[in-house]
Amino acid sequence: MEEILRMEHITKRFGEFYANRDINLSVLKGEVHTLLGENGAGKSTLMNILFGLYQPSGGQIFLHGKPVAIDSPATAVKLGIGMVHQHFMLVEAMTVFENIILGDRNTKGIFIDRNARRKEILELSERYNLDVELDKPITEIAVGAQQRVEILKALYRGAELLVLDEPTAALTDIEVEGLFRIMKKLVGEGKSIIFISHKMREVMQISDRITILRAGETVRTVERGETTGEELAGLMIGRELAPSHYAKVTKPGAAVVSLHDVDYQKKSKHNGLNGVTLEVGRGEILGIAGVDGNGQSQLAQLVTGVIAPEGGSVDMKGSRVATFSPNGFILENVSHIPEDRNKMGLIGNMSVMENILLKETGDPRFSDAGGWHLKRKAMRTYAEQMQQKYDIRCTSVAQESRNLSGGNQQKVILARELENHPDLLVAVHPTRGLDIGATRFVHDTMISARDAGCGVLLISADFDEILEMSDRIIVIFEGKIMGEYPGSNPPIDQISLAMAGK
Amino acid sequence: MNKNRFFSILVPFISVLLAFLVGCIIMAALGANPATALGALWKGAFGNTRNVGTTLSRATPLIFTSLCACFAYRCGVFNLGGEGQFLIGSVVCCYIATQSGIVGLPAIILCILCGGIAGGFWAAIPGLLKIYRGQNEMIISIMLNYVATLFMGVIYTNWLREGSVPQTMSVPDESKLSRLFGLRCTSAFVIAVVIGILVYYFLFYTSMGFQLRAVGLNMTASQFNGFAVKRYILFSFIISGVIAGVGGSAELLGTQFRLINGFGAGYGFDGVAMALIAQLHPLAAILVAIFFAALRVGSTTMQAATGVPTSVSEIIQALVIVFTVAGLAMVKLPEFKAALERIFSAGKEA
Amino acid sequence: MDMNFVTNLLLASVRMATPLIFISLAELYSQRAGLTNIGLEGLATIGSLAGFMVSLLTGSPMLGVLAGLLAGILVNMIFAYATISLCAEQIVYGMAINIFAPALAAFVYRVYFGSGSELVQVKLMNTLSSSVGITPSNFFARLLLDQTFMVYLAYALVVFTAIYFNRTKSGLNYKAVGEYPKAAATLGIDVIRTKYLASIICGALAGMGGAYLTTCYTTTYVDGNVAGRGFIALAAVIFGRWSAGGVLLACLFFGFCDALQIRLQVMSFGLPYQFFQMIPYVATVLVLALIGMKKAGPKSCGKPYRREER
């Protein structure tokens, strides 16, 4: 079959760091070619180079056998490359229609010829079964539909080669099936697809060939038929990683926090809670499973006092919570690993030391006269102890926290949130974007907090993480609780159905 | 000292040099000898103790308004209303000083206290509107500057007018601030410096100041970590207004003695500029204010000696801010850092 | 209050709204490309001086307006370079422009006219009716004919802007830059170029708004003659919900406040005139306080855009 794309010896350096080193990739016409690799393996960098968002430090790209220089996304589009980014590139303030025709250069005239454009788009959407509502604003359509808009957008620009960057991350299983049908249809019509993922099951289901990247380098390209999921996992991680196995707790202690029939903007499908009743006991991890955007953020903010429920009640250690404020919950010894560490967890422009001590500066250990004189020396000594204990890699505790890697930033937050032996820990996507080493560290730390009697509410969109960590599992869908399942030998099929709202 | 810190300190100095360079070109274009002009500028500002006193006296209100700007910005809110708060402070101060019948030290204390409270009250308006209505504090605080200026107009053209000239009556001699060493500079300067040190101490050596800075750098994270974000915002507005209000009172009691058209005009924006050049560091703000005042005082001598108009010094001041802010942004660019690395590594290899 | 008072008030409102329309549209074009420019006051000041000097030198108010336009663009290029290429904070740099531009204007004025206080005056732009040579008598005729070229231009610009942002391909792309520059870039829209273009338009319009004050409104230039219109324009953009039509209505409202205060001043009511002068400023505060924060404008406003992010 004809080779549509070849990337040879692609290298990309950021300062001293090689994001890509000597990578080779070849994609044939009409195939689904998977790029498999861990976070930070260099998949996104490679694709950003292909799409003209980054310029490679070395190497050559060939399209249809001819060398090309892709200096901007505009060039990439012109060459027939379409990309569906993991974080959708959709303008929320505009409608589906406007998003699809945005940046259009193929048509003449100054004004938008709505009727003609609509006809073209509808033809495309029928041909590839890409169902969209053209006049809805982006904010009013579901994630799966937004993805179809992205694909349609690329096709509308005449894409022959489609890059789908982790397209299944935000989808339910049902939506994933739909996406795969569309992908099959596309390759059947002669398009080529580069599919980026780290989910073995999906990779084995949809790919024709698979290229594995590790630490910025190509490991190997294999045919799907000649490999197994286990082999791929080994190639991806590069070493035999003993599967972590944490002992499950079956008899939790007394309830730390319990929610009774809690509502919050319950009409909202994506950002509300509807009649949620649950309880976290001492010394257990309650895992909340679900696809992103089904009310998890609101649940986390509710049990940390950031927002107040609109209906129902919350009991903290047996007594009813009257006023909701983050400070009130902190005084109740509730800790929080928030979903967005840069936005909600850390003050990026402050030092590691200041971030570790963020909530403690009024404490007599660190200031005299009720907070009116900080003991800088004591602060520094303590921060350095924490740096050792939590293995935070930084030039010094005076380094600004925004310059740390994601894993080290998360460790700063752990040092702050766990050192005071909380009664309740609310952890939201605690390992998102972290490499395996840091993930393991975060998990181990959470388990030891649990074993010390802390109740843990773990909210994660990473199903594997939920299965590995949870002593009990609750599935949330559109703000409602779909069911509760045991953490040991969980009924996986039932849980994934529940996550899709069945 | 790390590289970032080094450059952010270096930038203002380079900006000053560049601004002076442009100033010299302008002077030369106007037919003056830049060296003579700069000499006259220096002499006018620092030539003898009398001139130093004048410079410090001119710096005093600028210190107050730049501290006012610093304090609010440290909490992440743009209080552009320093001028209005300064004026409202001076208006209240003037009213009490001339109408209450109290004189001497009690009057001074009462005046400054009430002036500060008035300034704080004036600053609370944009603060409250920001918190409760989510509104843009910049526009509101600027609008209130105009209102304050007009209100001061009411005072000196109408309510407290003395004689045919539109100006208020003078504060009684007993209530004027005492001069230091017989110079033009008064104890107002001491108050300004003390407030500067207090602000510095508060921001960097107290738990509350620490939390206030955290709010300024990342409001969401501060809220998640239990800080009373709204209260800090209002607090920072009020304190910044109090500083400006005290400044207005001190200026009235120390230097001007009466309200008149143009009193305090431009001090608000000058304060913002100085705070930015000082990168919100209260002690640096004092030095920047003295520098600005020196330019202003010296430029009069310069005009007399060489005919170069005083407004050249205003251009230089404006260029310092234009260059500094651009320079500070530039040294943060990744391209700049990369270029720097190249230069340093090339140096090592050679 | 007789009929005459009302008609004069309304006619004056249109005149007073005109500079605001220019300056607010300047901000609208800037923010639609993701640049919050609070330096409008400075831009208008420099435009006002350039307009004054050139119409004094050439005797042509039209050339004055053109000069204001050019001066606005030139000064705003400093803002553009610093915020787009150097990624300086937009708010901070807007303040720098607000400090720099008036200082420059004051300097040029001093150098040119000396520090003497004699009043230099220029001829104002003719209204359409007087240049054609008719004297309209009734209200509507006056409203339609008794205006300067700048007034017609302002309304034409409003219509053009509304069509541009809602009906054209280019306008759609322009808006995308202000909402989500990264997405715009992936679609082949040149974000940096759009932002520079926006800065040119912004400088030009703000400069013209300033020039209006010295070519169509008062015969002389004084420091501070822009009198906060740059900031009121910011409020007008918020009040007008980032649409051309909304901005027009907001400007007419603020223009009305301005016209009202001038007329009330004359009538006095025994109050010091300064209280009436406060009306436009107080109205701005009240309007902002009342509308609250329902919609916050283009999403990328205030954020720097870097091409290769890492």
pLDDT digit string (tens) for C41-84? 999 999 999 999 999 999 899 999 999 999 999 999 999 999 99
| pLDDT at residue B350, as a whole number | 42
Task: Give the DSSP letter of residue B121.
Answer: H
For range A405-412, the mean pLDDT: 89
| Closest Cα in chain C to B29 | C111
The closest alpha carbon to C43, from C198, C247, C210, C212, belongs to C210
A482 occurs within a structural domain: yes
The neighbours of chain A, by the rule of 3 or more Cβ pairs under 8 Å, are: B, C
At A406, the pLDDT band (50, 70, 90 cuts) reads: confident
Q: Do C285 and B140 touch (CB under 8 A)?
A: yes
| pLDDT at residue A207, as a whole number | 92
Domain that holds residue C31: 8-113+148-291
Q: Which residues 283-342 of chain B have a CB within 8 Å of chain A?
A: 338, 341
| Closest Cα in chain C to A53 | C308
A16 occurs within a structural domain: yes
Q: Where are the alpha helices (DSSP H) in A351-458?
A: 352-356, 376-389, 406-418, 436-451
CA angle C271, C276, C278 (to 5 degrees): 125
pLDDT tens digits along A333-359: 999 999 888 899 999 899 999 999 999
Q: Do A358 and B225 touch (CB under 8 A)?
A: yes
Q: Do B225 and A359 touch (CB under 8 A)?
A: yes
Q: Do C188 and A105 touch (CB under 8 A)?
A: yes
Q: Do B133 and C91 touch (CB under 8 A)?
A: no
Q: Do A371 and B208 touch (CB under 8 A)?
A: yes
A contact test, residue of C169, C192, C301, C305 with most A CBs within 10 A: C169
Q: A101 in contact with C at a CB cutoff of 8 Å? A: yes
**Cα(A102)–Cα(A304) distance, integer angstroms:** 41
Residues A34/A195, Cβ–Cβ less than 8 Å: yes
The 10 Å Cβ neighbour count of residue A384 is 16
Between strands A285-289 and A472-477, the pairing is parallel
| Residue A229 sits in the same domain as residue A367 | no
| Residue A168 sits in the same domain as residue A119 | yes
Domain that holds residue A225: 3-237
Answer whether residue C310 shows pLDDT above 60: no
Q: What distance in Å separates residue A171's CA from the closest CA in chain B?
A: 28
Dig out the tokens for B48 from the structure.
């003898």
Q: Which of A207, A237, A267 is the last residue of a domain?
A: A237
Sign of the four-CA dihedral A378, A380, A381, A386: positive
Q: Which residues neighbour C273 within 8 Å (Cβ) at sequence distance 6 or greater?
A: C265
The closest alpha carbon to A152, from A178, A117, A128, A179, belongs to A128
Q: B217 in contact with C at a CB cutoff of 8 Å? A: no
The closest alpha carbon to B171, from B108, B257, B235, belongs to B257
C175 occurs within a structural domain: yes
In sequence order, what are the beta bridge partners of B161? B168
Q: Do B322 and C87 touch (CB under 8 A)?
A: no
| Residue A279 sits in the same domain as residue A173 | no
| Residue A228 sits in the same domain as residue A258 | no
Q: B207 in contact with A at a CB cutoff of 8 Å? A: yes
Q: B160 in contact with C at a CB cutoff of 8 Å? A: no
| Residue A72 sits in the same domain as residue A90 | yes
The more confidently predicted of residues A71 and A39 is: A71
| Residue A430 sits in the same domain as residue A442 | yes
The highest-level CATH class for domain B52-337 is mainly alpha
Q: A350 in contact with B at a CB cutoff of 8 Å? A: yes
Helix (H) or strand (E) holding A286: strand A285-289
Residues C47/C213, Cβ–Cβ less than 8 Å: no
Query: With helix as H, strand as E and coil as C, how does B53-113 read?
Result: HHHHHHHHHHHHHHHHHHHHHHCCCCCCCHHHHHHHHHHHHHHHHHHCCCCHHHHHHHHHH
Q: A158 in contact with C at a CB cutoff of 8 Å? A: no
With beta carbons under 8 A apart, name residues in chain A contacting B208. Answer: 371-372
pLDDT mean across residues, chain A: 88
At A241, the pLDDT band (50, 70, 90 cuts) reads: low
**Cα(A444)–Cα(A451) distance, integer angstroms:** 10
A244 occurs within a structural domain: no
Span of A59-68, B257-266, C19-28, C155-164 with lowest mean pLDDT = B257-266
Q: How many domains does chain C have?
A: 1
Q: Do C172 and A78 touch (CB under 8 A)?
A: no
| pLDDT at residue B349, as a whole number | 47
Q: Do A91 and C183 touch (CB under 8 A)?
A: yes
* C-alpha to C-alpha distances, C297 to A32, A476, C237, C239, nearest whole angstrom: 41, 33, 9, 11
User: Whole-angstrom distance between the N-terminal and C-terminal Cα of chain B?
Assistant: 25
Q: B278, exposed or middle or buried, with CB in 10 Å at 0-12, 13-18, 19+?
A: buried
Q: B315 in contact with C at a CB cutoff of 8 Å? A: yes
Q: Where are the alpha helices (DSSP H) in A207-283?
A: 229-237
Q: Where are the alpha helices (DSSP H) in chain C?
A: 3-32, 40-58, 61-80, 90-113, 128-132, 139-145, 149-167, 169-179, 181-186, 191-212, 229-239, 244-267, 273-277, 279-291
Span of A51-65, A280-294, C249-263, C266-280 with lowest mean pLDDT = C266-280
Q: Which residues 80-109 of chain B have a CB within 8 Å of chain C?
A: 80
For range A454-471, the mean pLDDT: 89
Q: How many domains does chain A have?
A: 3
The 10 Å Cβ neighbour count of residue A398 is 13
| Residue A375 sits in the same domain as residue A502 | no
Q: Do C176 and A103 touch (CB under 8 A)?
A: yes
A243 occurs within a structural domain: no
A246 occurs within a structural domain: no
Q: B348, exposed or middle or buried, with CB in 10 Å at 0-12, 13-18, 19+?
A: exposed
Q: A55 in contact with C at a CB cutoff of 8 Å? A: yes
Q: What distance in Å separates residue C115's CA from the closest CA in chain B?
A: 9
| Residue A133 sits in the same domain as residue A146 | yes
| pLDDT at residue B236, as a whole number | 96
Q: Do B80 and C95 touch (CB under 8 A)?
A: yes
Q: Do C187 and A98 touch (CB under 8 A)?
A: no
Q: Where do the domains of chain B lie?
A: 52-337
| Closest Cα in chain C to A107 | C169
| Residue A230 sits in the same domain as residue A110 | yes
Q: A458, exposed or middle or buried, with CB in 10 Å at 0-12, 13-18, 19+?
A: buried
Q: What distance in Å separates residue B76's CA from the closest CA in chain A?
A: 13
With beta carbons under 8 A apart, name residues in chain B contacting A325. Answer: 226
Q: Do A15 and B208 touch (CB under 8 A)?
A: no
| pLDDT at residue A38, as a whole number | 77
CATH of the domain at A93: 3.40.50.300
At C263, the pLDDT band (50, 70, 90 cuts) reads: confident
Q: A98 in contact with C at a CB cutoff of 8 Å? A: yes
Residues A361/B207, Cβ–Cβ less than 8 Å: yes
Using CB atoms, pick whichever of A89, A105, A109 lies closest to residue C182. A89
pLDDT tens digits along C197-248: 999 999 999 999 999 999 998 888 888 899 899 999 999 999 898 999 999 9
At A109, the pLDDT band (50, 70, 90 cuts) reads: confident
* C-alpha to C-alpha distances, B23 to B308, B309, B312, nearest whole angstrom: 10, 11, 7
Q: What distance in Å separates residue A2's CA from the closest CA in chain C?
A: 27
Helix (H) or strand (E) holding B128: helix B104-133
Q: Do C169 and A93 touch (CB under 8 A)?
A: no
The interface predicted TM-score (ipTM) is 0.90
Below-50 pLDDT ranges, chain B: 1, 349-350
For range A370-382, the mean pLDDT: 90
With beta carbons under 8 A apart, name residues in chain C contacting A94. Answer: 172, 175-176, 179
| Residue A357 sits in the same domain as residue A486 | no
| Residue A409 sits in the same domain as residue A431 | no
| pLDDT at residue A73, as a whole number | 85
A242 occurs within a structural domain: no
C118 occurs within a structural domain: no
For range A121-145, the mean pLDDT: 88
